[in-house]
Structures are given as C-alpha cells and as structure tokens.
Structure 1
Amino acid sequence: MTTAAIDRRQLLDDCEKHWGASAAKLYRIAGSQVEAEASGCEVRDHTGRRYLDFACSYGVFIVGHRHPAVQRRVDAQLAQLAWTPRGAAHPVQQELTERLKALAPGDWGDVRYMLSGAEAVEHSLRYALAANAPRRRIVITAGAYHGKTLAAMSILGQRQHEASFGKLSADVVIVPYGDMAAMREAVGDGACAVYLEPILGGAHLRMPPLGYMEDIRALCDHTGTLLVADEIQTAFGRCGKMFAVEYANIEPDILILSKGLTGGYASIACAMYRKQTLERLPAPADDHDSCGGHPFACAAALAALDVIEEENLLQASVERGQQLRQGLMQLARRFPGIIEDVPGIGLMTGLRLKGAVYESLLSMELGKRNVHTGHSMNERAERPVLRYYPPLSVSADTIDEALKRTGEALEAVAALPAWKISVMRRVTRSMYRLPNALLRKM
C-alpha cells in the first residue's frame, strides 16, 4: 500500500485493536496523520505535511531520524550479517559490550541483551530475586515507569493499571519520589532491591532533590539492598550527560538501558551488572530467552554512540537544553494560568500544565502548527508534563521555531471561553472510553 492510499481510519482501528487503544484514541482526538518519512528533526506525513519532531517517540531518535553515519553502518552490517541465533557470540556484540562497560560509571562484569526495556527490567528482576533471596521486597517510587509487560507492571509506579490486571505482588512498596524518609522506612533492615529512575520521567518529570541519589546508594550499601538504575529514558545524553547517575557520582548495582541506544534503528535493551555485585551475589542460571543483541542492532548502537561522541552531542544537549528551557520558562511566565513550571535538564524537559485538559488542548493546537510533542496519555495526572524531547542534534533555529509555534498554540488555548474548557475537561477525563463515532464527530 502506498502512502497516498493509506486509509487513516482503518489504520487507527487496527492500532486500537492490535497495539494500543489509548494511543489510537489520542490520535483520533488530535487528528494525527500517518507518518510516512523522517529526517533529522522533521517528520513528513502521508499527505506531505512536515512536522517538527519534539517527541522522538519519548526519546528514541536521539541522534535524529535517519542519521547518515548510522545508516551507512547498518547498511554495511546488513550486507554482512544481520542476525545470529540466541547464544551465538559475534564480534559486533562483544564490541558493544566493551564499549558500554567503558562508558558507564562503575566496574561492570556482565551485560545481557534483550529487545525492549521492559524485557531488560524483567531480566533484572529475575536476577535480583534469585541472587538476593530470601528477600522479596522491591521498593519503587510513585509515578515510576518501568514497562508494561506483566512482571514489569508489578513494579510500575502508576497503579491505575491494577484495575485491568489486579495487584500483581504484595512484595512491592511504593514511596513518594524524593522522600528519603519514606525510602528509609520502606527499605528497613534490607530489601531485595530499589528500582529508581535517576530523573523521574513519564507524565511527572521530576528532578531528584539534592543528595537524594547519594543517600539511596548509601542506604543500599548499608542494608545489602540492590540499587537498580532505570536509565531507559535518561541515558546517552538526553539529560546532558551520558548517564543521569553521573550527576550524583554514584554507581548502581544494575543499570538498565534501551530507547536511544541505537538512535531508533533497531529495538535493543540491556541489563548491566556491576562486577562487585556479581561477586557478592552470583548470578543464577540464565533462563531468560531473548533474541536481543543481534549484529544489526549492535552495529546501529555502536554507530549511534560514535555520533554522540564525534558530534559532541552531550554538550549540544546542555546548550540546546538551556535554550529550550529558557524559552519555555518565558512562556510559563506569560501563561501562568496554564503552565505550572518547566521541569527537566538537558533536552529532557517539558511544560508542567495545570490539568490534563490543558495537555490535550495544547497538544491539539501544536498539532495544527506541525509540532509533535510527547503527550503523557495519562488523563489522571493532575499536573501532567507535555514533554519536549527533540533529537540531541536539533539546531538553535529549530528550537526557536518550536518555541514560536508553542507560543501561538498557548495563545489559542488561552483564548478559549471558560465553557469550552469546562466541556473539554469532562471529555479529557473520559476520552479513552469515548465511542469512536463520537470522536470522529468531534
């Protein structure tokens, strides 16, 4: 089927049935078109309209769409060897393993590859529960996102999903992010593991309080609790450093990576295990069956890491991140009735809005102005963050243009009459349950 022949309605019906009902609902409400082509910081839909991509699939396309250096590397790898059976060693994977061990802070003993971040979380759970037995208690933070496969959902800090699947584990304790007293109480004399996003992502996007990460590291050391850093969103320059734990100068026992690792060319994830941890708590027999870490994905990852280093994208993340956040903060001062604050660091930032209704309205207005942003798809969040996660290679001019269009979108939202905001607030609270026929009319 050519892009011109795409039936948008049928595609959204298929998306709702086979992939994600909430995403399909959002696309219907926003009038989203079908992405057909992308390059750099730009996406083109099947009608020919061009959009600035400040969502990047929540940070996946970290070096930009179709970076030529990554393209050349993966083309060469495809011409040689794309896939190997599980367990078969190949030099490209070995090269990536050594590269990650050298980059990540700490002395790393093992790297295990999977296809998705949720799968890597599950691998780490198997290790933690087996190696730190008989301990069973896992401590997580409220609002945390660690994936939506069944076991990963047991440590998801967004408990509304229990309505669909029930409470998966009585051994999981949730504490407020940033509350060290609550963390100490939950860990007690020793838990199995603490799972932590160094920067809380998702709809919440919160920076840790000063000293928070260091205190948790000391608490885990004192009690023999494993510290698992989930850097699926934060790693590879998104937050201005290669890894967010570098801001606290700590070494986690387990480090989980995915998203930006290949620049969006292939699905890959890994769980890294610190050598000291493996010596203290030997790994059990590995029965996690995954096809991750194949040559094609590893080649893409190596190429993306080369681009990050050779194009100095860590520094670019800091500089462009400052430009973006300063611009967004100026808008926050202009529209205090809509925007609460501008959280984040580097190019991991966004607008914390005063209600889910404003996130939906602003997303729609930005869509009309050809800007993609990261909607939380969380109508229950009281103060959701509409995320701005452009590629690290984004130009200063492109950021200025996105800020200009954001200002125009905010003006349009601010001009809406109170009755329309009230109606949309009710729609937003139930938008993922509304009939498709009604959405089409809207």
Structure 2
Amino acid sequence: MSSTLQLDQILNNCERHWSASAAKLYRIARTSVEKESDGVHVTDHTGKSFIDCACSYGVFIVGHRNPCVRESVQAQLADMAWTPPGRTNPVREALSERLRHIVPGEWEDIRYFVSGAEAIEQTMRYVLKVQKHRRGIVVMTHSYHGKTLAAMSILGQQQHHRSYGTSTKEVTYVPYGDFAALQRAVGDGVCAVYVEPILGGAHLEVPPVGYMANIRALCDSTGTLLIADEIQTGFGRCGKWFAIEYDQIVPDIMVLSKGLTGGYTSFACALYSSRLSQLYPLESIEPDNRSMGGHPTACASALAAIDYIQQNGLIEKARVNGGILRNGLHRLAQRFPEIIEDVPGVGMMTGLRLRGAVYEALMSMELSKRGVHAGNSMNEKASNPVLRFYPPLNIAPEAILHVLDMTEQALDAIASRPKISVKAFSLVVRNMYQIPNRFLGFKRGTANA
C-alpha cells in the first residue's frame, strides 16, 4: 500500500471514529501522521523526520522517549504498574516529597490526577466548598484551564461556552495583564482567582513585571484564594522551574501537568499550601474523592523526568538556548514585519505572533515541508495567533539554528506568494470546516506534500 493510500485510509478512519475537524486539518495542510519519535525528532508514516517544536504544547520537555525516563518506567512496570484508588505506594510518596522540595513555598496536601482539566475541576470543588459565603471566580480572557464540562466554565476562550452552555454569571473575565480590571472584578473579595503566570495558548503573553505579586497582594487583602495554573509553564519551560518564581510569589493552590512525566503518561497534580491545608484539610473537604492519577508508573516517570532536568541542567539550558531561539525569531520578525507582529514569550516558551490565521496555516505547511513541527492554534480563535515553538529543553543549539534557518525559508516562501494567492487561501482557512473533502485536492494516488 502506498503512503498516500495509507494516509487517506488513516484520515477516513479519523473522520469517522475520532475527529472530523482534525481529519479536515490534516487534509487541508497536507500533513502527514506521526508514527515514531525519539529525542527532538518525530517520524511520520512515510519515514520523513521532523524536529518537534510543538511537543504537544510542552509535554515532551525532556524529549521523546527519554532513555532515563524509559528505564525508570520499565523498572517500575516490572515491580508494580498500578494501585487502586485509596491505596498509596512508595513511589507516590517519594514524588510528593520531591515536589514539596522543588516547588517554591510550603506545601501540605497533594492530589494526583490523570489530566490537568481533572485537577482544575477538583480545585474548583475545593475552593467553592471552603469559601461557602462567596461564589464568584475571576479568570483571564483567553486563558486555558481545560475542556471538561466544569473546567470549561472558567475557560477564557469563551467561544466554546456557546457550544456547551457552560457560561455562568458567577465567573468574571478580565483582560490578561490588566491589574486595574482585576481589582475591579475582585472588589471586596471573591471566592478565587485562576491565573496562568504566563498566558499560554494561541494568545501567548508574558504579563507586566510585578503582575503576579500584585495579584497575590490583592488576594491576601480580600481573603480571595489564588490558584496558579502552571500546566504549560512548569518544569523549566519558561527558564525557571516555575513561572511564579519571576515574581517570587506562592499561590494558595498550584496545578501542574504536561512536562511532569516527560510525556510517558498523562498525569497532573494539585498542590495545596500548608497554610490553606491547615485551615481546610483536603481530606476533610473531599474524603472519598480518589483519582486514578497517582499510580506507580506515572509517579516513577515524573521522578525520573525531574531527575533528568536537575542532573542535566535543563533550566539553565532553557534560558541560554531559549535566548538563541528568541533572538533568531526576533531577527525574522524584523525582516518580515508584514507577516509577524511580535515574538512573545520567555525561555523555551515562545513563538511568532502572526498577522492573521492565514499566515499561521501557511507557516505550518511550509515548516512541515522543511521538516519542522510548530504548535498551531487549531480551534482557539485568535485574530493574531501565536505559532508556538516549545521544543524539548534538551534540544541542541545546532538544532535550534537549523529550525531558524527553516523558519526563514518558510517565511521567504510565503512572502514571495502573490497577494491574491494569500487572500484566496485565507478564505479556505476561514471556511475550512464547511468545505467538502472532495474539494480539498486530497485524492487517492496523489502525492502527499
């Protein structure tokens, strides 16, 4: 079976059984399907290799199939793979101690989950129970805290609320980075403020200096609980272990996921400050709520990933190599101002803010032709989306320079397109989910670009 026929069959199955919109994106962008991965590379079903600068938006922080993590996981599988809810295990307790050591502040209760959204939902139940006299929650516009049903009610991408009916009058949205607006929304006090210390997603944004410190002071003065969502920013992605370190603050609750296990299993946790746990012990609030998240295999992979980050100096590498990456992207932004608006981010959490969704789609396609994957916004609606570059923290400087060369070639290719061609493609991008597959140019027997 030819690779094109194979891809056609894969996408037909994807459309029928998983996601019709994902299959549509594959067809429009002429994107191949990943089959294997190793280090900073992924390989598609045809055998073509790509440098992965998408990394599932930060999951593969120590690279794909990191051998140190793999060895730890295999050893744990040989001993014990899983324990039922309500049972602890030595690996979980070791991970809890490690997290209490590396996360700034003093932490007591730690609860483990399968996904970040599940962790967010548990924190929502908790804060609403312990702040019974308050129901208001303040979140930031364009923030991302998961898409399970309850988590979606505090999702800053409000277009999704219309699809699922999860809007609530108890949630107030304020522009990210606008502390004055936050002050007005909190007033004399609300139940909780949820915030990403660095805004992720297609709206990637670093807040003004002192933003998190001001939020901490506001929450302290009004009796409001502060929940920091470090799902994307944690474990060195932003050039420090955690983004709260930039303003040297400690939230009441912190949520971690993505880079936690280096990509070996879906895993998340919520940490509760000692102060909060002493006032409202988690066990007394939710004594019977147990998740499948803290099983030994996930905990072993998390311990190994943390060890690898520490032993290989990946936090410092994120700062140094992130500087190489960001300087290169800034140089390209100066050369192509008609395509690139700016280069937001810090450390290895960066990208190109592009002047329209059409440029994001074109950049994704051109980079893919040149063997580079970057993180696009998919169904996050942004007028100026950020095409994200979140490579593994152990990527070599030579690989970063290659990515920058390929990015420059991709921008050259787009800049040389006739304006009428770009305008026509923008119509396709805006209406892609309504276009029948037979009009997308993906046919059996045709070459896959």
Query: Which TM-score bucket, shorter chain as reference?
Result: over 0.9
Please, which moves more after superposition, 371-380 or 202-211?
A: 371-380
Is 1:172 aligned to 2:171, yes or no? Answer: yes
Contact 2:86 2:290 in 1 (8 A): no
User: Aligned equivalents of 2:100 and 2:296: distance in 1?
Assistant: 18
Is 1:389 aligned to 2:398, yes or no? Answer: no
Q: By how many angstroms is 1:287 displaced? A: 4.2
Q: By how many angstroms is 1:286 displaced? A: 3.8
Letter in 1 for 2:310: E
Q: How many residues align?
A: 441
User: Aligned equivalents of 2:149 and 2:415: distance in 1?
Assistant: 41
Please, which moves more after superposition, 40-49 or 11-20?
A: 11-20
The DSSP-based 3-state class of the residue aligned with 1:203 is helix
User: Aligned equivalents of 1:85 and 1:3: distance in 2?
Assistant: 45
Q: By how many angstroms is 1:289 displaced? A: 4.1
Q: For 1:105-143, what per-residue CA distance to the aligned partner results, in whole angstroms no more than 9, with x for missing partners?
A: 111011000000000000110111111112111100000
Within-5 A mapping of 1:110-149:
110-149=109-148
Partner of 1:263: 262
User: Aligned equivalents of 1:141 and 1:251: distance in 2?
Assistant: 19
User: Aligned equivalents of 2:407 and 2:90: distance in 1?
Assistant: 46
Contact 1:184 1:219 in 2 (8 A): yes
Is 1:251 aligned to 2:260, yes or no? Answer: no
Classify 1:3/1:243 alpha carbon distance in 2 versus 1 (closer, same or farther; 3 Å).
farther
User: Aligned equivalents of 1:323 and 1:122: distance in 2?
Assistant: 38
Partner of 2:159: 160
Contact 1:3 1:36 in 2 (8 A): no
User: Aligned equivalents of 1:6 and 1:277: distance in 2?
Assistant: 57
User: Aligned equivalents of 1:162 and 1:144: distance in 2?
Assistant: 13
Contact 2:109 2:272 in 1 (8 A): yes
Contact 1:52 1:372 in 2 (8 A): yes
Classify 1:21/1:281 alpha carbon distance in 2 versus 1 (closer, same or farther; 3 Å).
farther
Letter in 2 for 1:279: Q
Partner of 2:63: 64
Letter in 1 for 2:377: S
Partner of 2:87: 88
The DSSP-based 3-state class of the residue aligned with 1:7 is helix
Q: By how many angstroms is 1:274 displaced? A: 0.5
Partner of 1:187: 186
Partner of 1:315: 316
Q: By how many angstroms is 1:380 displaced? A: 3.1
Partner of 2:338: 337
Is 1:326 aligned to 2:327, yes or no? Answer: yes
Letter in 2 for 1:309: Q
Structure 2 length-normalised TM: 0.95
Classify 1:19/1:217 alpha carbon distance in 2 versus 1 (closer, same or farther; 3 Å).
farther
Q: For 1:343-386, what per-residue CA distance to the aligned partner results, in whole angstroms no more than 9, with x for missing partners?
A: 10000000000011100011001011110000011463111000
- Work out the percentage of aligned pairs sharing the same amino acid: 57
User: Aligned equivalents of 1:122 and 1:167: distance in 2?
Assistant: 13
Q: Which runs of 4+ in 1 moved over 6 A?
A: 2-6
User: Aligned equivalents of 1:134 and 1:279: distance in 2?
Assistant: 19
Query: Which structure 1 segments of 5+ residues have no match?
Result: none
User: Aligned equivalents of 2:16 and 2:204: distance in 1?
Assistant: 30
Partner of 1:434: 435
User: Aligned equivalents of 2:306 and 2:95: distance in 1?
Assistant: 10
Q: By how many angstroms is 1:211 displaced? A: 1.2
Partner of 1:402: 403
Letter in 1 for 2:430: R
Partner of 1:234: 233
Q: By how many angstroms is 1:441 displaced? A: 4.3
Classify 1:53/1:210 alpha carbon distance in 2 versus 1 (closer, same or farther; 3 Å).
same
Partner of 2:197: 198
Contact 2:152 2:166 in 1 (8 A): no
The DSSP-based 3-state class of the residue aligned with 1:161 is helix
Partner of 2:24: 25
Q: For 1:310-347, what per-residue CA distance to the aligned partner results, in whole angstroms no more than 9, with x for missing partners?
A: 00000000001000000001111110000001010000
Query: Which structure 2 segments of 5+ residues have no match?
Result: 444-449
Classify 1:13/1:146 alpha carbon distance in 2 versus 1 (closer, same or farther; 3 Å).
farther
User: Aligned equivalents of 1:275 and 1:266: distance in 2?
Assistant: 28
Letter in 1 for 2:303: L
The DSSP-based 3-state class of the residue aligned with 2:190 is coil
User: Aligned equivalents of 1:49 and 1:439: distance in 2?
Assistant: 23
Partner of 2:150: 151
Letter in 2 for 1:265: Y
Partner of 1:374: 375
Letter in 2 for 1:310: Q
Q: CA RMSD in A?
A: 1.7
User: Aligned equivalents of 1:330 and 1:305: distance in 2?
Assistant: 33
User: Aligned equivalents of 2:17 and 2:255: distance in 1?
Assistant: 27
User: Aligned equivalents of 1:223 and 1:306: distance in 2?
Assistant: 39
Q: By how many angstroms is 1:433 displaced? A: 3.2
User: Aligned equivalents of 1:281 and 1:184: distance in 2?
Assistant: 26
Q: By how many angstroms is 1:12 displaced? A: 2.4
Partner of 1:295: 296
Partner of 1:364: 365
Letter in 2 for 1:420: S
User: Aligned equivalents of 2:346 and 2:422: distance in 1?
Assistant: 31
Classify 1:58/1:3 alpha carbon distance in 2 versus 1 (closer, same or farther; 3 Å).
farther
Partner of 2:417: 416
Classify 1:14/1:138 alpha carbon distance in 2 versus 1 (closer, same or farther; 3 Å).
farther
Partner of 2:447: none
User: Aligned equivalents of 1:441 and 1:76: distance in 2?
Assistant: 45
Partner of 2:446: none
